[in-house]
Amino acid sequence: MRVRKKHRGSVIVIALWALGIAAIVTSSIQIFAQRQALQGIEVRDRIQARWAARAGVESTIAVMSDHTLRPVAGDSFAMVTEMEYVATGKAGIATWDIRHHVEGQDWAGPLDEHSKFNINSDEDSIFILVIDDLAFGVLEAIQDWKDEDDEPRTLGVERDYYTSLQTSYEPRNGLIRSIPELELIAGVMPDDVRGEDWDLDNRIDPNEDDGGDSLPWDEPDGYLMGGWASMLTTSSVDGGATESGEPRMNLKTIDLETIQFRLGVDPFQAEALQNYAQTDGAELSTLLTQTLRTLSGNAEGVTNLNEEQLRMVFNECMLYDQFEAPPGRININTVSSELLYRLFPERNRLVEELLYLRAQNAGGISNPADFLAIPGIEPSMVQFLTSLFDTKSNVYTISSVGKAEGSGIEQEIIAIVDRSTIPVTILEYREQ
């Protein structure tokens, strides 16, 4: 009997142990299953957020393509306004939001790369105005980085310097391809380039507005100090879309009949325009300060362009082939007031007149000929403004954040898009 009782006791102990182990295993399985379920939900929501962000990018590209093919004549803000309409939207159970931060304010839609100065331009004097706190020798280092030779300037550095570094590399010896590339140049620091916008998405992220709680170091003031990246670009390109929706024509090489048809000019005017375009140093801006008859040498039969014909020249013409398009000019309609004041440090009145000129018309400044409306402006300044500024833009940076409605998980897509050709081209694409 005692043996049986002992045996029963052992069985009970074993059963209790088995139940305990089973409970632990069951609990572990439940925890594991819950974790897997949560992970699955997170993966699902992240995918939904990603595709919502992508939907925002594609919606913006669709608007850009449509306005390139079917532009709204005389309205420089028509495409911008429509891109604002699609800056927010919903895809399934996720949403997207496209915006950018300029001068302390959030703006719906993509960032206009033509609102900045293209560092690949040859205008070093303009670059010095834009970045007015350059360290000693940095300008020369940038020039050496871009030029094709290996001979350093007096204060510059070339191939020998970069290859001697522990992380050895060679200078570009060509056009700078992206703003972060500047950080490879001697004397240029990441803080100079990025400022508070450490991920270069043109948006205020939580870590970029929290003081010293996390990198980068910033002022928690709701104002994104963007560093050089807020003033400079490498992606803007001249030429591109016209008000007719036709490819821009090279005035030097296009046939005279097309010139007559596209510009509404007579045969004598068409020939005079082409003859001038083929002269050394010809600039379209000269047509704003000198008459066509004067430029033709008072050739027989040549009459001056009327206002509409002059506007058509700037809307439809260029003096180069599209594949030779130079770096883009600054868009006078989207450039920040801060950059304008930097470009004209001793001409505040002129800046105020430019800001007023673009604000007084709902469609902004639609043509370089509009500069002639500035009271008392000198002909030389009209030419300078026309060489520095454009009224249209080709390249935009789309920062689209997708957000899953249930969990709030976010996914950001950044795309730089060029509409100077059809179909539009995605120059850069990254997810973060």
pLDDT in tens, 109-137: 999 999 999 999 988 999 999 998 888 99
Give 346 or 41, the one with higher predicted confidence.
346
Look-up of token digits 């393509």: 65
Rounded mean pLDDT of 307-316? 94
**How long is the chain?**
432
Average pLDDT of 250-274?
96
Q: How far does the chain reach from its first CA to its final CA, in angstroms?
A: 74
Looking at residue 190, its pLDDT comes to 94
Cα separation, 289 vs 287, in Å, equals 6
- Residue 258: how many CB atoms within 10 A of its CB? 13
CATH classification code of 116-199+226-233? 1.10.40.60
Give φ, ψ of 30 to 5 degrees. Answer: -65, -45
Closest CA to 52 of 425, 406, 395: 406
Cα–Cα distance for residue pair 422/27, rounded to 1 Å: 60
3-state SS class at 19: helix
Residues 381, 100: contact at Cβ < 8 Å? no
Q: What is the mean pLDDT of residues 420-428?
A: 91
Strand partners, 425: 418
Q: pLDDT at position 159, please?
A: 95
Confidence at 17, pLDDT banded by 50, 70, 90:
low
Query: How many angstroms separate the CA atoms of 168 and 159, rounded?
Result: 10
Distance CA 412, CA 399 (A): 7
- Least-confidence region, from 30-39, 268-277, 310-319, 390-399: 30-39
The verdict on pTM exceeding 0.85 is yes
Query: Do 106 and 99 contact (CB within 8 A), yes or no?
Result: yes
Domain ranges of the chain: 116-199+226-233, 249-324
